[in-house]
Amino acid sequence: MDLYSSLCTITKEENILRDEPMCRHTTFRVGGPADFFVTPKAKEEVRDVIRICKEAGMPYYIIGNGSNLLVSDAGYRGVIVQIYKEMNEVRVEGERVTAQAGVLLSKVASAAYNASLTGLEFAAGIPGTLGGAVRMNAGAYGGEMKQVLESAVVLTQEGELLTIPVEELGLAYRTSVVEKKDYVVVEATLRLKKGDQAAIR
């Protein structure tokens, strides 16, 4: 079975593009075609796409919304796995916000604001996804992800889905265990506090 057919057993055909120009998926609007461009809809699909790439010996690269990403005009020989618009669900339960890794950080901050939850205001203007923010411990205006993160669900290099509490994520200035061990963030839970909506705004 060829790679395209294998990928079609995991996700829908419309989620698999061939020879896709990367300039459509980077904020700098540069980049030649990727052999395959896959947009999984769930953490299990991310796991299975990566497994198939490894079995086929096909290079792969994970991206979010492509902010600050430079791609060669020659494109990418392999599979780009984009965790973004197809994985952007957010749910608020009490003082916890749980979201898929592809959601924009600004959308998570808006959801927190709508629920009168404070602590994530610093993230409202960061132009990236939640997954990328966890991976690099994103921050601005004196705040950073380690102050609000409770746990993250990651995919290991062995294909295992693990839930890791913030204490074990090794979050430091623009780095984490996720980056050092090349894990893939697929979901995260934030712990915020009730606040005054006007003050949050």
Does the pLDDT of residue 30 top 70, yes or no?
yes
The average pLDDT across 130-149 equals 96
Q: Which pLDDT score, from 0 to 100, does residue 1 have?
A: 63
Give mean pLDDT, residues 73-85. Answer: 97
- Residue 76 confidence class, pLDDT cut points 50, 70, 90: very high
pLDDT tens-place string over residues 90-137: 999 999 999 999 999 999 999 999 999 999 999 999 989 999 999 999
> What is the full DSSP assignment across 70-136?
---TT-EEEEEEE-STTS--EEEETTEEEEETTSBHHHHHHHHHHTTEES-GGGTT--SBHHHHHHH
pLDDT digits (tens, 9 = 90+) for 155-174: 999 999 999 999 999 999 99
- State both tokens at 176: 């984490």
- The mean per-residue pLDDT over the stretch 20-41 comes to 97
Contact yes or no for 20/80 (Cβ under 8 A): yes
Query: Structure pTM?
Result: 0.93
Q: What is the pLDDT of residue 68?
A: 87
Average pLDDT, the chain: 96
